[in-house]
Amino acid sequence: MTSETNVAEIDTDQESHKSTQMPEPSGYKILIALPDVDEATEGGIIKAEETRYAESVATIVGFVLKMGPDCYKDQKRFPSGPWCSEGDFILMRTYTGTRFRIHGKELRLINDDSVEAVIDDPRGYERL
């Protein structure tokens, strides 16, 4: 992902996520929305569909939509409390989680311990 990543298209309005199709994470799972991948490079070269797909699959940035009821409840594993909250942008492990789409938007269910960091602005982050 480049600094041109369109994170504005991630709808952060919690009311819009109350659709009957939006899954409720169970247990210690976290529901993550992924930012859209840029269609072109910073230099203006249009990326192939395969390239955009590979970038989206391997993304390390996500937006926390919902958290399961058991997230971060284990005091032995998380003695300092939750690593993230609903509404946070996070860095997560590459290829983590269960991937699926709802109305063309890719989402993931990840484990609570897959969160690596909370970030303020997801633009500019790219996997190496």
**Whether pTM exceeds 0.75:** yes
| 51: DSSP letter | H
pLDDT at position 85: 97
| 86: DSSP letter | T
- Is 92 within a domain? yes
Q: Return the residue matching tokens 């709808």.
A: 11
- Is 127 within a domain? no
Q: Are 83 and 115 in contact (CB under 8 A)?
A: yes
101 lies in which domain range? 7-16+27-119
pLDDT at 111 over 50: yes
- Is 39 within a domain? yes
Model confidence at 2, in pLDDT bands (50, 70, 90)? very low
- Is 124 within a domain? no
Tens digits of per-residue pLDDT, 43-71? Answer: 888 988 887 788 778 889 999 999 999 99
CATH number at residue 76: 2.30.33.40
- Is 86 within a domain? yes
Taking residues 1-28, report their average pLDDT. Answer: 62
**How many domains does the chain contain in total?**
1
Cα separation, 49 vs 26, in Å, equals 33
pLDDT at position 15: 52
- Is 128 within a domain? no
Tens digits of per-residue pLDDT, 66-102? Answer: 999 999 999 999 999 999 999 999 999 888 999 998 9
Write the DSSP string, 103-121: TTEEEEEEEGGGEEEEES-
| 9: DSSP letter | G
